[in-house]
């Protein structure tokens, strides 16, 4: 089994900064997002991480995740993987939660209600499960560069919870998280760590 699964959310984009759901639209990193990716790379190339020698790297094929991976210094080791794409938000792509709630007159919550014309929570969980299964079958650490919601679902599924538990796992742009084991059970080693941005 993998000793650890390390997660990186891509750096800031215009849409992530304004709270717009960014699934399949390939919105580029802001200059701030690129700077944050560099700071993350500096951190991962310093003690105690030392560049994570031997880590297996996968990235979402979306430009914002790939560029974060490259700027952080892991692009030459990364393989793209469709399973790491962000949740397909369907008709809610590019919309904010506030706008959706005003339009629908509901207290819409993606973790409970899903999205019309996009992926269901069950479908997103199936993708996350494939990532967790792959990570657990590896005999070395794995490092994933992806997006806020899919990484939160991976966190939930790693711990054995339903997709909706991802709603309890806040995740900031350019954050670093580690999932591992404690007494043989899946555990959180660190979550939403942005110390490199302080």
- The binding site consists of 22-23, 64, 86-89
Cite the annotated binding site for substrate by residue number.
22-23, 64, 86-89
Query: Catalytic residue at 162?
Result: no
Query: Catalytic residue at 67?
Result: no
H helix or E strand, kind and range, residue 118: none
Catalytic residue, chosen from 21, 56, 67, 86, is: 86
- Cis peptide bond upstream of 33, omega within 30: no
E strands in 98-148: 142-146
* Torsion sign (Cα): 195, 7, 168, 121: positive
DSSP letters for 92-110:
GTT-BHHHHHHHHTS---H
Q: Is 141 helix (H, G, I), strand (E, B) or coil?
A: coil
Treating both helix axes as pointing N-terminal to C-terminal, what angle do 31-44 and 63-71 enclose, rounded to 10 degrees? 50
Instruction: Just list the catalytic residues.
Output: 10, 86
């Amino acid at each position: 089994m993998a000793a650890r699964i390390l997660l990186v959310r891509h750096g800031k984009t215009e849409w992530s900064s304004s709270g717009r759901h960014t699934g399949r639209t390939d919105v580029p990193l802001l200059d701030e997002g690129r700077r944050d990716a560099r700071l993350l790379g500096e951190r991962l190339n310093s003690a105690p991480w030392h560049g994570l020698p031997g880590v297996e790297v996968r990235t979402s094929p979306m430009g914002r995740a790939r560029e974060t991976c490259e700027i952080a210094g892991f692009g030459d080791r990364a393989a793209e993987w469709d399973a790491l794409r962000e949740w397909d938000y369907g008709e809610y792509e590019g919309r904010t939660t506030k706008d959706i709630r005003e339009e629908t007159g509901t207290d819409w919550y993606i973790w409970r209600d899903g999205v019309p014309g996009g992926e269901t929570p069950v479908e997103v969980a199936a993708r996350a499960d494939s990532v967790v299964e792959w990570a657990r079958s590896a005999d070395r650490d794995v490092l994933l560069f992806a997006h806020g919601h899919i990484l939160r679902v991976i966190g939930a599924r790693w711990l054995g919870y339903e997709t909706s538990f991802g709603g309890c796992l806040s995740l900031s742009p350019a954050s670093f998280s580690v999932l591992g084991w404690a007494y043989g059970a899946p555990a959180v080693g660190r979550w939403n760590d942005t110390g490199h941005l302080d």
